[in-house]
Structure 1
């Protein structure tokens, strides 16, 4: 059981790193959550995409942001939290690159509702299979912080969805 959990956590880390390295993070939390859901669904894992709020404590005050992310049981999987670092340059150091399980003490998540499968953006199975295969090789890949300009040069998930025949 513990070995399977570790394998799942490793998969989530690899998916997050793969997405961060290859696709735009800015303004893509819903599509990113849908992509992670579809990859996990293909692997027969229940990791729903959800809409909610993220609260970030800044100088004793909490700022809140509407956001989409994934959950597996009580584990938060958030491959797009870094978009808030790109938007909020003065507090960018408060946002990690991504979150899998270990949420920093100054960040809280609140789940409002699950994004139902029928309401999700879907990706072509070939694209999903490609991402799963390539993400498995991301164990030793490190992701460095990047700028909004660098992010804009990456592939946009919206166009990936559009060209995938959906």
Structure 2
């Protein structure tokens, strides 16, 4: 079942269950998927769909940080609820140890040894992980490996 089909099914369940938060998040995600489809000009692949979900989750995390800094507890709670719904559609994430192993292997493969190779190594690792790893976690591990 494609993500779009899953969203349609979940939308019906949310409507019947009067789940306003769930319905709002599903509509937001459907809209983001449709915008991406229009942008690329073809039906989205599974990888592209996953990238859209990861992007939406990143936006929610960024919003959460801003709301916490602004002491907006009402919006913090609402954003956490939205993130919980969105988490159901997130692709399986790699563990930190798996990311570390991938970074070390990639560094060996491309010959990255110093901090000057940071950008090259980040690009190579992110291409391999696609949407299975958070960029900030990869960034931190790459810095540790290159230091």
Q: TM-score normalised to the size of structure 2? A: 0.29
Question: Whose relative contact order is higher, 1 or 2, with alpha carbons under 8 Å and at least 6 apart?
Answer: 1
Higher helix share: 2
Q: Which has the larger radius of gyration?
A: 2
Higher strand share: 1
